[in-house]
Amino acid sequence: MSNPAFLLSATIFLPTLGALFLMVFDKKAEDAMRNFALVITAVTFGLTLLILQQFDRSEGGIQMAVSIPWVPTWNINYQLGVDGLSLPLVLLTGLISMLSCLASWSIKTKVRGFLMLFLILETGMMGVFLALDFFLFYVFWEVMLLPMYFLIGVWGGPRREYAAIKFFLYTLFGSVLMLIAMLMFYFNSASSEIAGNESIFDLLKLAEIAKVGGFDATMQIFAFILLFIGFAIKLPSFPVHTWLPDAHVEAPTPISMILAGVLLKMGGYGILRIAMPLCPYGTQYAAYALVALGVFSIVYGAFAAMAQTDFKRLVAYSSVSHMGYVLVGMAVWKISETGATENLNFWQLGMAGAMFQMIGHGISSAGMFFMVGVIYDRVHHRDLNKFGGLMQLMPLYSGLAVIIFFAGLGLPGLCGFIGEVFVVLSIWSYSPILAIITASAVILTAGYILWTIQRVYLGPEYKGPHKEEIVPITSRETTVAASLAVLAVLLGIFPYQLVLNLMDASIAQLTVSLSEGYAAVQETVTAVTQLSR
Amino acid sequence: MENVGLEMFLAVSAVLFVCGVVCMATKRNAIGVLMGVELVLNGANLNLVAFSRYGSLGLDGQVMSLFVIVLAAAEAAAALAIVLAFYNNHMTVDVDQATDLQG
Amino acid sequence: MMSPEFYSEVGNLLMWLLTAAWLLPLLGFVIEIFGGYWSDRKSKTPAYLAVGCIGTGFLLSLVALLTWVDAADLNLWHFGDTESAAVAHHEADAAEAGHEDDHSHSHDHADHSNAHGEHGDAHHDGGHHGGHESHANDPFKTAFAGTFYRLGKYGSLDITLDWYIDGLTVAMFAMVTLIATCIHIFAIGYMSDELTERYEDHFVHTEDGGHFHRVGRFYRFFAYLSLFCFAMLGLVLAGNIFQVFIFWELVGVCSYLLIGFYVERKTASTAANKAFIMNRVGDFGFLIGLMILWTWFGVFQFAETNPETVGSTGLFQMVRTADGELETQGEGREKVVVLQAQQGIHKDGGNPHPTIPYFLLVAAGLGIFGGCIGKSAQFPLQTWLPDAMEGPTPVSALVHSATMVAAGVYLVGRFYPMFTPEVLLVIAYTGCITLFVGATIAVVATDIKKVLAYSTISQLGYMMLALGVGGWLAGLFHLITHAFFKSLMFLCSGSVIHGCHHEQEMTKMGGLAKKMPITCWTMFVGVVAISGLAIPFLGIPKLGAIAFSGYHSKDAIVAAGMTFSSLNPIHSLLFFVPLITAGITAFYMFRMWFMTFFGKPKDQHVYDHAHESPRVMTAPLLILAFFAMFCAIGGENGPLAQLILTTEPVHVAEGAMEAGHIGLNLPGHHQIHEFHASAGAVALLVAFGGTILAYLFYGLGIVDTGAMQKQFGGVHEFLREKWMFDELYEWMWVRPTLVVATWAAAFDRCVLDRFLGFLAGMVVAISSWDRRFDEAVVDRLVNAVGEATSSVGRSLRYVQTGRLRQYVMFIAVSVVMLFFVLFAYLPR
């Protein structure tokens, strides 16, 4: 297992192998298939832990790099590796996949197909986080897209076709923009020495070119906008977020968990891994817009959540609100008039907050969706006004749910707090006005979460239909919920020891090289303007 | 025999060939049609042998005619078997009655 | 200055003691919540466990207190309350040998320590900033600080969990653990009806009209209490302002859980939500304060006190010079505060020291105070506290009177060096408004717990006012004394409620003194204490006036207010309002006492079934009554005040003339002392006035209160409706928020989704045109080709007859035709 090529490839492709192997099972042996898929996801999670064990926390660059020519004619490589940005998300993917696989016992129809698509989906997600070649990244991005379409479209709720199409079209639109940007970089890289005067897809080398100012300002701005729209759809950020509530509401519980827990993080990861390193100038050019957009998403999502009556829709809008912090944290990059980066440490703090927010939100929102799923499986409705009194009927479930919802509320000691507060602390040095607006969101968040808890869990009596079917939480459900709740607590208490120190070196390296990349382009831009005068 | 030329052989074979073709075209009896086929083949054989003798082909023509004879025998055997089977099923050997495969 | 070895030795010991006291309730919480869920509902074990944890915590805190006093070499009085009893023998010799006159003794002591700090070091650094490290520790020489572990580090930005232990910390620890222990014990009795598998809740009706039934939640109550103790002690132990925020939120959520303990009651869960959300409104300000401090200072630690690690500094050392001055430059909007450290973030050109704009320092102070407004239920966020009385009474005693709501006051006291005079003035006026509003509503409240709740708001206002007018000691002194007598009174009210079978309306009580004598007379102790009554003209040497704890602390507050208003005549409201309110306080407290315990029973049914509470409930009452009487013994020269005084920021003692933009004069110790006697006399007079009035109204009943209510109907109604704050907020905030929320959701549905639908419609329209083109042109063309082919095939079909003879004919004819063609066209 010390061979990184094997380890990383196994992490990516083991689920696919499992999916193929599922075909030999008897059609009736549904439980056997579920158990088998669970074992596969558990082993995959084990492999990600193995990566963690071999990971060197003090090293900021790519580790366990693998590069094998794939399509040599076009310089496409099978290139993998981890660093502090991708490793936490790889771990999260492994974990959430395992838990949501455990949550898929509630899927009763076409079990084999579900599990196969599910496992292929995991391959796509792992691939996105581990790929270091732009083309390979794109391929995995699309690989992840298709199973998701079917998982929503076949196993979803009443309006599943609409939701699936909406999801598919939104994401496809984004990936088309990404494709254009990818080709821009491919053909522009040929003029650089670093690329050996060839067109390349290698993200690391492209980032190096950007760091020395190899891409000109206009191209960076255009490419950044294209890439950003592509990733912002996934993030999701206002105004391209409307696929999310529909997709979540219609998707079955385990898929909602994956969607909120992992898929949304791809947007943030894509910005950190591709959009920012490849276009430092473009990033800085758009930084204020990014922060403003993030802040608006936070407030807007919170308001929209408050007005929902569908439990799952509310949680979906809370995701919009929470992912706004990610955008804000990444973009609080302040520069002086001379183009030098100011308050680098605050930016690093914000970026760490953004990364932590992705992890924390991955845990808390997956948990929230699972909790909605548990009650939906019993009473088959999600109308917030027709719940109540669950604390009496399902005490353990309600207790765990309250912990997880408080994590979403950003209560200290739980995982939602660190990310939010780091971002909030970093933003004043960038823009006091936006900082105040961001801080005001704590009131709104508390408002809609507590109101939800009151309407669903508190009160004397359950008010909706199917009261007789409310039974206490099963041990399998308890396992999922308790794992998430325990993680939420642990991450909230030991953020640095568990997660933040994994990524600090990488964040430092990223911010520094972005600053250099911006300064390199800025010099030429200033020179040109002076000449023209 | 000196004055017997190629033309003579060709004339005889042409007569044979035409007789065979006319026989095939006019007879309704399957056996008759087969006989016509034999005539046609033998007319062709005569041609081959004649060109072999007078042309520059050497023995090739005669070898070819041997093949044709064997082929004719095989064809006759197979065709007669088909006719016999047809007769067994339809109590006739009239080829105009053989319309089973017509679309 | 302490030697580094001594510092680390004592610091570590204190840290371990208090950390153990802090974490024990957390351990208790975990065991109780998990053990309770899977075990017998009728078991009292969770309660014993919780009492054991917090009781051990109290013993540890006591040891820590003694250790600290010993280490600080403090010369407390050798008699007085139990907190210092053990110190007594240690200190006895010095105290007795020393001074006859206690006033001068204490003053000497305080001055000495301050003077030592300032003068000694002013010499050293000679005004140069380079040497600031050497003296920076001295104002904090009796404090110990250190780090638990790290939450994140980015360059110089280091976010950690720290501890900070000084006189205020140990005093708060002892107070919180002691009161919590008493309340835990009380709750064993009070919550005993939860020890059942089938609890009947008379306040909740099911749809079929019956009462609501559920399993008992005894264990859960004690688990929540333990969690609260953990959070509260963590707040006190916190060594940086960020950590305070963390525990600030945690006590908030514990409060939420405890207010909403009866989850099935809609009123309870709504009150819990209200409490949490209003606290979050305050926390919004707190966060802004944190952001400003973090951006401009780059540290969160209060102060660095370790003599070894000179050079690294905390907030207090950065903002104030060694003698507690703010060093400012420039005027107007350009005014900046020079920070006393190299490591700040923003540097002016040419200035070697980092600075922070003055208005931002003010904003940060106001922001942090915003958090305190929320937590301590100050105007304008006071409305959540009365609603919070939905929780069980022990909760009201512990969380909503003694500890958590006092955390705001504690934080203002702790963070005092960061507050500019402008902020202090805001604090003072906020407290002033709050204490008046709270007291006026308490006068008309008839729910026994609501009276106490409004009284708590009012008393917290007193504390804030004291802090705001420069009476740092008075505010925190009152915090401790108030904690004792208010928790006592809440427990007494709990005892009454328990005895009257959950009847809380005073209009249905009366004459209960005979039925529950212990409760009645312990309550009397509390009422006298809060009213600030004392026996005039008599004073015992060394002990001062014969009075309960409340007299001493309220006296100090009134004195501070009086001094302040005499120095700043324009702000004389800050003296008269609290003075008048002192009378109102005495009035409504005695009104409550008389209405509850004396007069004729107003509801015979309630009276007949009333009974004195069991011993497990009355014992805590007696303990707390003892402390309510004697904890402040000696007044401002007593051990408690002296203990707190060791933590006083250096600039307070001196006072300040013309401080800040607004030309404010802050009184120093000397000035306050001059006014002390007259202030005490006036306050006492007013309090007696209130008491006598209450006795006339409610004790003797010579005035018809019903008629008076009618006569002042408008005022009465206005007060009954709590000054209409709830209605106002409903219209100002809640509804607009919901409207905006609906708009946001509708925007998604009607604008974004419709736009998307429009785009999709466009695509569909284009594709349907495309389809028509396909059908009309492309398809038709292709079909035509196909049609032609097949018609040719159809016509050729006739040739295919299947007749052998015909085929032979075709062959023959074709051959002949070929023949002719060959002959006709082939070249010769």
DSSP state string for C98-111: H-S-HHHHHHHHHH
Which positions 307-326 of A are in contact with C (Cβ < 8 Å)?
Answer: 307-308, 317
- In terms of C-beta density within 10 A (0-12 exposed, 13-18 middle, 19 or more buried), how is residue A84 classed? buried
Sign of torsion over alpha carbons A393, A396, A399, A400: negative
Q: Residue C228 — very low, low, confident or very high, per pLDDT cuts 50/70/90?
A: very high
Q: What's residue C95's pLDDT?
A: 38
pLDDT score for C126: 35
Contact C239, C370 (CB under 8 A): no
**Quick check: C809 and B25 CB within 8 A?**
yes
Higher per-residue pLDDT: C677 or A284: A284
CB < 8 Å from A in window 731-750 of C: 737-738, 740-748
Q: Which residues of chain A are within 8 Å of residue C737 when distances are taken between CB atoms? A: 303, 306, 444, 447
Mean pLDDT to the nearest integer, C10-26: 90
pLDDT over threshold 50, residue C114: no
C127 touches chain B (CB under 8 A): no
Task: Kindly report, residue by residue over A36-46, the tens digit of the pLDDT.
Answer: 999 999 999 99
Residue C748 counted as domain residue: no
- Shared-domain flag, residues C527 and C646: yes
> What are the tokens at C232?
């509260």
Contacts of A444 in chain C (CB under 8 A): 737
Are residues C155 and C12 part of one domain? yes
What was the pLDDT predicted at A13?
92
Residues C551 and C440 in one domain: yes
Question: Residues of A with CB below 8 A from C300's CB?
Answer: none
Residue C2 pLDDT > 70: no
Yes or no, beta carbons of C812 and B102 under 8 Å apart? no
Among B24, B39, B83, the residue to mutate for chain C (most C Cβ within 10 A) = B24
Contacts for C220 with CB less than 8 Å, ≥ 6 apart = C33, C36, C261
Nearest CA in chain B to C803: B96
Residue C464 pLDDT grade (very low, low, confident, very high; cuts 50, 70, 90)? very high
Q: Is the pLDDT of residue C447 over 60?
A: yes
Q: Residue C482 falls within a domain, yes or no? A: yes
Task: Identify which of A317, A412, A461 has the shortest CB distance to residue C246.
Answer: A412
| C93 and C152 part of one domain | no
pLDDT higher than 60, residue C86: no
Q: B94: which chain C residues are within 8 Å (Cβ-Cβ)?
A: none
Average pLDDT in the B78-92 region? 90
Q: Could you tell me if residue B38 is inside a domain?
A: yes
Question: What range defines the domain where residue C701 resides?
Answer: 376-720
Residue C98: band (very low, low, confident or very high) from pLDDT cuts 50, 70, 90: very low
Kindly state whether residue B2 falls inside one of the protein's structural domains.
no
Indicate yes or no: CB of B95 within 8 angstroms of CB of C804: yes
C253 chain-A contacts, CB cut-off 8 A: 406, 411
What pLDDT score does C140 carry? Answer: 64
Q: Which of residues 337-376 of C touch A (CB under 8 A)?
A: 345
Q: Is residue A208 scored above 70 in pLDDT?
A: yes
pLDDT per position as a tens digit, C592-649: 888 888 888 888 888 888 888 888 888 999 999 998 888 877 777 778 888 888 888 8
Tell if the CB–CB gap between C250 and A442 is shorter than 8 Å: no
Asked if the structure places residue B5 within a domain, the reply is no
DSSP 3-state of C42: coil
Q: Distance of alpha carbon C267 from its chain centroid, rounded? A: 22
- Do C536 and C551 lie in one domain? The reply is yes
Residue, of C139 and C761, whose pLDDT is higher: C761
For residue A418, give the nearest of C151, C266, C273 by CB distance: C151
A125-A131-A136 Cα angle (round to 5) = 95
Same domain membership, residue C103 and residue C56: no
Residue C550 lies in a domain: yes
Q: Sort out which chain C residues have CB atoms less than 8 A from B102's CB and list them.
A: 801-802
C463 and C541 both lie in a single domain: yes
- C208 interfacial to chain A (CB closer than 8 Å): no
Q: Would you say residue B47 lies in a domain? A: yes
Chain C residues near residue B96 by CB distance under 8 angstroms? 803, 805
- Sheet holding C336-338: strands in order across? C328-329, C336-338, C355-357
User: pLDDT band at residue A366, thresholds of 50, 70 and 90?
Assistant: very high
Question: Looking at residue C551, what is its pLDDT?
Answer: 85
- Collect all residues of chain A within an 8 Å Cβ-Cβ radius of residue C746: 307
List Cβ neighbours of B46 (8 Å cut-off, separation of 6 or more).
Answer: B9, B12, B13, B16
Pairing of strands C336-338, C328-329: antiparallel
pLDDT confidence of residue A362: 92
Give mean pLDDT, residues C105-118. Answer: 37
Angle at A486 between CA A484 and CA A487, to 5 degrees: 65
Least confident of A49-58, C298-307, C391-400, C539-548: C539-548
- Cis peptide upstream of residue A495 (ω within 30 degrees of 0): no
Please check the confidence at residue A26 and state whether its pLDDT lies above 80: yes
Greater model confidence, B28 or C124: B28
**HSE of C98, CA atoms in CB hemisphere, 13 A:** 18
Does residue C393 share a domain with residue C539? yes
pLDDT over threshold 60, residue C307: yes
Answer whether residue C310 shows pLDDT above 90: no
| Domains held by chain B: number | 1
Q: Is residue B1 part of a domain?
A: no
Provide the percentage of residues in chain C whose pLDDT is more than 70.
87
User: Which of C802, C804, C811 lies nearest to residue B101, judging by beta carbons?
Assistant: C802
Q: Looking at beta carbons, which residues of chain B come within 8 Å of C805?
A: 24-28, 33, 95-96
- B97 belongs to a structural domain: no
In a domain, C788, yes or no: no
How many structural domains compose chain C? 3
Reference C248, options C346, C342, C143, C369; nearest CA is: C369
Per-residue pLDDT at C659: 66
Nearest CA-CA distance, residue B19 and chain C, Å: 12
User: A-chain residues within 8 Å CB-CB of C230?
Assistant: none
The first and second tokens of residue C521, run together, are 């007379």
Mean confidence (pLDDT) of chain A: 89
Q: Which residue, of C120, C137, C154, is where some domain finishes?
A: C137
Which of C808, C810, C815, C819 to mutate: most B Cβ within 10 Å? C808
Tell me the pLDDT tens digit for each residue of A286-299. 999 999 999 999 99
The Cα of C297 is separated from the nearest Cα of chain A by a number of Å equal to 11
Structure tokens at C757: 């639908």
Q: What is the CATH number of the domain that holds B32?
A: 1.10.287.3510
Nearest-angstrom CA–CA distance, C444 and C569: 32
Q: Which residue of C has its CA nearest to A347?
A: C154
Q: Which of C665, C699, C720 is the last residue of a domain?
A: C720
Q: Kindly determine whether residue C803 and residue B33, on different chains, have CB atoms separated by under 8 Å.
A: no
Tell me the average pLDDT across A276-287: 90
| Contact check, Cβ <8 Å, C812/B21 | yes
Inform me whether the pLDDT recorded for C722 exceeds 80.
no
- In this complex, the residue of B25, B101, B102 whose CB is nearest that of residue C805 is B25
Give yes or no for residue C46 having a pLDDT over 80: yes
Of the given ranges (A204-218, C219-233, C460-474), which has the lowest mean pLDDT? A204-218
Taking contacts as CB-CB distances below 8 angstroms, the residues of chain C near B25 are 805, 808-809, 812
Q: Is the dihedral of CA A253, A257, A258, A263 positive or negative?
A: positive
Q: What is the pLDDT of residue C366?
A: 93
CA distance C766 to chain B (A): 47
> Is residue C114 located within the same domain as residue C3?
no
Burial of A14-50, coded b for 16+ CB within 10 Å and e otherwise, reads bbbebbeebeeeeeeebeebbebbbebbebbbebbee
C794 touches chain B (CB under 8 A): no
**pLDDT higher for C26 or C744?**
C26
Contact C136, C304 (CB under 8 A): yes
Q: Which residues from A are below 8 Å from C753, CB to CB?
A: 242
Q: Quick one: C538 and C569 in the same domain?
A: yes
Chain C, 132 to 161: residues with Cβ < 8 Å from chain A are: 149-157, 159
For residue C691, tell me if it sits in a domain. Answer: yes
Q: Per-residue confidence at C77, pLDDT binned at 50, 70, 90?
A: low
Domain presence at residue B81: yes
Per-residue pLDDT at C130 exceeds 70? no
- Report yes or no: C531 and C558 within 8 Å, Cβ to Cβ: no
C269 interface with A at CB cutoff 8 Å: yes
Q: For position C791, what pLDDT does the model report?
A: 92
Q: Are residues C532 and C615 in the same domain?
A: yes
**Chain C residues near residue A310 by CB distance under 8 angstroms:** none
What subunits touch chain A, counting only 3 or more CB pairs under 8 A?
C
- The verdict on whether omega for the bond into residue A158 sits within 30 degrees of 0, i.e. cis, is no
Is B95 contained in some domain? Answer: no
Q: Do residues C217 and C208 make contact, with C-beta atoms less than 8 angstroms apart?
A: no
- The letter for the amino acid at A45 is F
Report yes or no: A34 and A135 within 8 Å, Cβ to Cβ. no
Distance from the C812 Cα atom to the nearest Cα atom in chain B, whole angstroms: 8
Q: pLDDT by residue (tens digit) across C685-705?
A: 888 888 888 888 887 777 777
**Residue C60 CB partners (closer than 8 Å, separation 6+):** C17, C18, C20, C21, C24
Under 8 Å CB pairs connecting chains A and C tally to 151
Q: Give me the residue from C155, C201, C214 closest to A344, CB to CB.
A: C155
Q: How confident is the model at residue C134 (pLDDT cuts 50, 70, 90)?
A: very low
Mark yes or no for CB contact A450/C273 under 8 Å: yes
Task: Give the whole-angstrom CA distance, residue C680 versus residue C558.
Answer: 7
Quick check: A367 pLDDT over 90?
A: yes
Chosen domain end from C187, C215, C239: C239
Q: Which chains touch B (3 or more CB pairs under 8 A)?
A: C
C773-822 pLDDT, tens digit each: 888 888 889 999 999 999 998 888 887 777 777 888 888 889 889 989 99
Interface of B with C (CB under 8 A): 21, 24-28, 33, 95-96, 98-99, 101-103
Determine whether the interchain pair B99/C805 forms a contact, defined as Cβ–Cβ distance below 8 Å.
no
Q: A319, A346, A420, A456: which to substitute to probe chain C, counting the most C Cβ within 10 Å?
A: A346
For chain C, what is the mean pLDDT?
Answer: 81
Q: Per-residue pLDDT for C744 more than 90? A: no
What is the domain extent for residue B27? 11-90
Decide if C782 touches A, using CB distance below 8 A.
no
Distances, alpha carbon C697 to alpha carbons A415, C590, C599, C601, C688, in Å: 56, 10, 11, 16, 14
Closest chain A C-alpha to C232 CA, distance in angstroms: 14
The total number of residues shown for chain A amounts to 533
Instruction: Please write the tens of the pLDDT for every residue from A154-197.
Output: 888 888 888 888 888 888 888 999 999 999 888 888 887 777 77
* C826 contacts chain B (CB < 8 A): no
Q: So what's the pLDDT on residue C209? A: 75
Q: Kindly report, residue by residue over C539-573, the tens digit of the pLDDT.
A: 555 556 677 888 888 888 888 888 888 888 888 88
Let me know whether C80 and C177 are in one domain: no
Beta carbons of B95 and C802 less than 8 Å apart: no
pLDDT at C107 over 50: no
